[in-house]
Structure 1
């Protein structure tokens, strides 16, 4: 992971600590690029994430 803070692809929140985001945020790969989802959005969309639904369906 780079030193840049990830940005949530769902709500646009920025991780306050990039190192902590690797533990509390969800990382996925869509169309060959990393996509980050914050802990709040991850909890809200957990069933869709576990069902491997594309984020467009959320």
Structure 2
């Protein structure tokens, strides 16, 4: 398990590798909500880019 502050994907549970290439870390998608920051890994963000851009609620994707 990673550090408590390590970003974790809300869709698949993948944790961001802190030792990864900085360009890979920049590929993560973040959304700030009243509950805090929610993260999507690059694979999940890529798979749901149309839903994200269309601002569809999470329940639909």
| TM-score bin, normalised by smaller chain | 0.7 to 0.9
TM-score (norm 2): 0.74
What is the aligned partner in structure 1 of residue 27 from structure 2?
A: 24
Contiguous gaps of at least 5 residues in structure 1:
none
What TM-score, normalized by structure 1, do the two folds share? 0.78
Q: Which has the larger radius of gyration?
A: 2
Aligned residue-pair number: 54
Quote the residue 1:5 is aligned against: 6
Listed one character per residue, the Cα deviations across residues 1-58 of structure 1 (whole Å, up to 9, x for unaligned) are xx8210000000000028843x11000124x121000000000000000011122211
